[in-house]
Chain A
């Protein structure tokens, strides 16, 4: 909310409406003026299940075929068993596929061929965004612990904001 208050204070209410309308028109994954925005997960099942172990990553961070491949192998989910019952698994897969990075987006195009990329942190897009800016050692810092811990550096990640912090 701090962000909204700031915008309100600076722009006044009428331009806020314009700003919101503009933001709503942006497709997931488009860079906004202040940094990159990804629409956070809205589905309650997806939120609850994925966020048991890590942030519920926005569906727009991977293309549909990546989500499909990932959801097809939950018993070996990056070295852990993350099995779900069939109904829950189908619900989550449907949400992720429906909200995946659009086919023509940079993210989807960068991983359009070859085996589906399963780790967000192994997409060319993610690597490019972090290269040079973040030292590989930073991810080993105990406070970060993993490349999956977006919020350690991107304070607004849970709300969809991934600008440089």
Chain B
């Protein structure tokens, strides 16, 4: 390949990568915005953090907290109870996070029920994603 071709190829790859990140961010923003709209009040990263890091007694005994599996270092991997690694939750460490609405809803459904013994409200989901996206 001639240097100009390499240059052009690198340029295109760079633009495609940027576009990928931009559309991921777009997907994430849309998901967060729809939770905010359903909640009808401003979202809070602080509340999201407290909910995620906290220990709860209303759910299933083996999963008292979100950090039971995701750990308290969200830029690093987590681990399921069966010993399998979970990809980092922090968007800075894992840009594909929270970009597929159906995937997000599936896991909120399961994990809120396991940890809290109930569904999370749109406000809680919005708070959680606001905080996790800021990491």
User: What residues of A have a CB within 8 angstroms of the CB of B62 in the complex?
Assistant: 79-80
Task: Specify the chain A residue showing the minimal Cβ separation from B113.
Answer: A81
Chain B residues in the interface with A (C-beta under 8 A): 60-63, 79-84, 106, 109-111, 113-114
Q: Most chain-A Cβ atoms within 10 A of its Cβ — which of B60, B62, B80, B111?
A: B80
CB–CB A81/B111 < 8 A: yes
User: What residues of B have a CB within 8 angstroms of the CB of A55 in the complex?
Assistant: 82, 84
User: What residues of B have a CB within 8 angstroms of the CB of A80 in the complex?
Assistant: 60, 62-63, 81, 110, 114
Number of residues from A at the complex interface, CB < 8 A: 19
CB–CB A149/B60 < 8 A: no
A1 on the interface (CB 8 Å rule)?
no
CB–CB B109/A81 < 8 A: yes
Total CB contacts across the A-B interface at under 8 A: 51
Given A79-B60, A80-B60, A80-B62 in contact, is the A53-B113 Cβ separation under 8 Å? no
CA A84 to CA B109, docked complex, whole Å:
10
Q: Most chain-B Cβ atoms within 10 A of its Cβ — which of A79, A82, A144?
A: A79
Partner of A83, one of B60, B79, B80, B109: B109
CB–CB B79/A145 < 8 A: yes
User: What residues of A have a CB within 8 angstroms of the CB of B80 in the complex?
Assistant: 53-54
User: What residues of B have a CB within 8 angstroms of the CB of A82 in the complex?
Assistant: 110
- Min distance, Cβ B57 to any Cβ of chain A, angstroms: 15
CA A80 to CA B109, docked complex, whole Å:
11
CB–CB A144/B109 < 8 A: no
Partner of B63, one of A75, A79, A146: A79
Given A80-B63, A81-B60 in contact, is the A149-B113 Cβ separation under 8 Å? no
CB–CB A79/B83 < 8 A: no
Given A80-B60, A81-B60 in contact, is the A54-B111 Cβ separation under 8 Å? no
Given A75-B113, A82-B110, A83-B110 in contact, is the A54-B83 Cβ separation under 8 Å? yes
CB neighbors of B among A80-115 (8 A): 80-84
0/1 per residue, A14-44, Cβ < 8 Å to B?
Answer: 0000000000000000000000000000000
CB neighbors of B among A31-73 (8 A): 51, 53-55
